[in-house]
Chains A and B, each alone.
Chain A
Amino acid sequence: MSSVAHTETAAWIVALRVARRKARLRLIAIMLGLVVTGVGLTLVTGPSMTTPSELLRILAGYDVPGASFSVRELRLPRAVLSIIAGMSFGLGGVIFQTLLRNPLASPDIIGISAGASAAAVFAIVVLGWDGSAVSILAVIAGMAVALLIYLLAWRDGVAGARLILVGIGLSAMLDSMIAYVLSRAPAWTMQDALRWLTGSVNGATLAEALPVLLSLTIFGGLLLARRDNLEAMRLGDDTAAALGVPLAREKLLAVMAAVGLIAVATAVSGPIAFVAFLSGPIAKRITGPGRSPLIAAALVGALLVLLGDYTGQHLLAGRYPVGVVTGALGAPYLIFLIIRSHRSGREA
């Protein structure tokens, strides 16, 4: 127990940490690059391709006949909404998964997204609202569903398994409510219906994207500022409390911020299927063990929505909204996760 030995061990630990941080930064840089590539693809692809040089000119403010309108008014809002909605879903999802210590406890599986979506569709179809009023109602509904799940799952404490099952039950109910409201809508088109059932970024406008950007800045910033406490909460309530985390306050803040992220994004793009569920685990797989990957999860979310939308619009035969693509992608992964988590003998 000499201090020399301590210094050696300490140096080794520092070396481990520095190496990992470098690797992590490199990965985040690569992901940023991919996001930029995805945006580029979305911007240039259409019925007629826009060349990169034309694209740069359009973005710099010049008019290019035949391309300016579709890039500025159609593709750019689409790309922007894809990125910020994807980041909101990714970050909100990973917060839930971290807090509940279970990859299955993501807001789209336990019904938070369904709640926000049901409220949004109700506000639009039945009440005839639009704009930020829809977002606000969606946030309130998301919070209410979160509270309801928590209360219903409470019995001498909240256990992950019970909470997830209660959430599955609630989302079944909310989904049929969405289906009912949609079936009552006077002029419901398939595209409208699919937005609220599986999520879509069709017809996005920059004005719509603004509240999402705002919530991403506020709630995302709040969560990043408190990530140390979030980290400690991964060790379980007792340990976190013993490490000096004011549990009640921190949990409430984190859940409210995450619900805010999910609900505001859902009010605009619909509950894009499985992005919240997929982003965290994929980010974790990419960045490896250690701290929970908040930024990486947000970037993965943006990538999923961008590429899912691109695939649905341009690579498949029909024109599918992004939610159908991510839904088809997410279900096999959910099954894989169930199989894998049981192989290792852990509780799902």
Chain B
Amino acid sequence: MTAVSSTGSTLGALQRSRRSHLAWLSVVLSVLACACLLSVSLGTRDVGWADIFAGVTGSTETIAQAVVVVRVPRTVLAVLAGAALGLAGAVMQGVTRNPLADPGILGVNAGAAMAVVIGIAWFGMETLDAFLWTAILGAGLAACFVYAIGSLGRGGATPLKLALAGAATAIASSSFTIAIILPRNDIAGGVRSWQIGGIGGASFDAILPCLPFLVAGLILCLLSARGLNLLALGDDAAAGLGAHVAWARGGAALGAVLLCGATTAICGPIGFVGLVVPHVCRLLVGADHRWLLPFSALTGAILLIGADVIGRIIARPSEMDVGIVTAFIGAPVFIWIVRKRRVRDL
């Protein structure tokens, strides 16, 4: 009899947690909407509601409306890039079972940036399509390389090993990036745009070619949620529960690489979004990847828009690149995560 009633109360608890997740979902969605509005209205020149509405519908009669027309693609890019990086971070943390995994810290973004720079400097690439494929290739190679190094030896891929392997790869890639660009004054954007990510010059023309990659990455990542839940129990236990470990891991990682590569190709390397977001979301909805992944995407979008708006406000009349703002938001979170863990888990 006690067994029945306790099962009943457990069921109740499960339903309650589901309801609370849905409540959080609506909160996150409305925050995202507000952030988008702020992003369109705030900046060097603040814009009123009427102009926003007119600008969004395509009118460019006043300066304010013209500003809105420029800010809309920028906001769209921030949403897409933020969602992609947040999702990629959550997937990477799941695949590596490592709380410090992040496309920036693991050197994946730096690898993608280096690949693009090599493509421009040595192979004369010019089209955005070519950038995209090269960036994804670079991201994939960097991810495999870092994971391979980090998981060598006893204990598998511990946070410390992965972080160090990522730091080393990031430093190596940016050294090579500098070495490649330095003698070439002709390379557009110079060193800076490939060292720090930004979303300043966004346009729909640049965003459009990325969409197929982003969508493919998104689908792959969301499909792997169940597999990631099993992987969280450890490879052996996951296999025991019937997961195909190599496929689950490979599919999820491919999705994350697509997302990072495509984002880096348009924005340059932006760090720490993928690190911060999943941790916040875990506090909201727990460790179930079926909830965690969509939440990470939404929260990532919020974070990147927020960082972009902050960068516009604090450095008025000019702007601070979003990659700098995310580093300032993200590094303290990184340190907080490190502090929270016991030493032998690092």
| Cross-chain contact B327 with A166 (CB below 8 angstroms) | no
Q: Tell me whether B178 is interfacial, beta carbon within 8 Å.
A: yes
How far apart are B137's CB and chain A's nearest CB, in angstroms? 20
Which stretch (B15-23, B29-37, B86-94, B162-170) binds chain A?
Answer: B162-170
How does the 8 Å CB contact mask read for B150-168 relative to A, with 1 for contact and 0 for none?
Answer: 1011110001110111011
The 8 Å CB contact of B155, one of A159, A162, A166, A342, is A342
Q: How far is the CB of B54 from chain A (nearest CB, A)?
A: 34
A339 at the binding interface (Cβ < 8 Å): yes
Asked if A342 contacts B152 (CB within 8 A), the reply is yes
Give B331's nearest chain A residue, CB to CB: A173
Which residues of the partner chain A approach B346 to less than 8 Å between Cβ atoms? 159, 161-162, 165
Does the CB pair A327–B150 fall under 8 Å?
Answer: no
Q: Size of chain A's interface in residues, with CB distance under 8 A?
A: 49
Q: Are A339 and B191 in contact (CB under 8 A)?
A: no
- Which chain A residues lie closer than 8 Å to B159 at the CB level? 165
List residues of B (159-212) whose CB comes within 8 Å of A's CBs: 159-161, 163-165, 167-169, 171-172, 175-176, 178-179, 182-183, 190-192, 195-196
- Contact A165:B165 (CB < 8 A) given known A324-B178, A345-B154: no
A315 on the interface (CB 8 Å rule)?
no
CB distance from B110 to the nearest CB of A (A): 11
Given contacts A152-B339, A328-B176, A335-B168, contact A165 B163 (CB under 8 A): yes
| A278 CB, min distance to chain B CBs, angstroms | 12
| A9 at interface by CB-CB < 8 Å | no
Q: A37 an interface residue at 8 Å Cβ cutoff?
A: no
Tell me which of B165, B271, B343 contacts A335 (CB under 8 A). B165
Would you give the shortest CB distance from B192 to chain A, in whole angstroms?
A: 7
Which residues of chain A from 324 to 340 have any CB-CB distance to chain B below 8 Å in the complex?
Answer: 324, 327-328, 330-332, 334-335, 338-339
Which B-chain residue is minimally distant from A175 (CB atoms)? Answer: B327
| B321: interface (CB < 8 Å) | yes
Task: Kindly report which residue of chain B lies nearest to residue A165, judged by CB atoms.
Answer: B338
- Does A248 make an interface contact (CB < 8 A)? no
Q: Of A159, A194, A331, A348, which contacts B169 at CB under 8 A? A: A331
- Give Cα A172 to B179, complex, Å: 21
B139-155 contacts to A (CB < 8 Å): 149-150, 152-155
Contact with B along A172-187 (1 / 0, CB 8 A): 1101110110010000
Residues 155-210 (chain A) with a chain B CB within 8 angstroms: 155, 159, 161-162, 164-166, 168-170, 172-173, 175-177, 179-180, 183, 190, 193-194, 197-198
Measured between C-beta atoms, what is the minimum distance from A237 to chain B in Å?
15
Which residues of B are interface residues toward A (Cβ below 8 A)?
A: 100, 104-105, 149-150, 152-155, 159-161, 163-165, 167-169, 171-172, 175-176, 178-179, 182-183, 190-192, 195-196, 271-272, 320-321, 323-324, 327-328, 330-332, 334-335, 338-339, 341, 343, 346
- 8 shortest interchain CB distances as A-B pairs: A342-B153, A331-B172, A318-B183, A327-B175, A173-B331, A176-B327, A334-B168, A169-B334
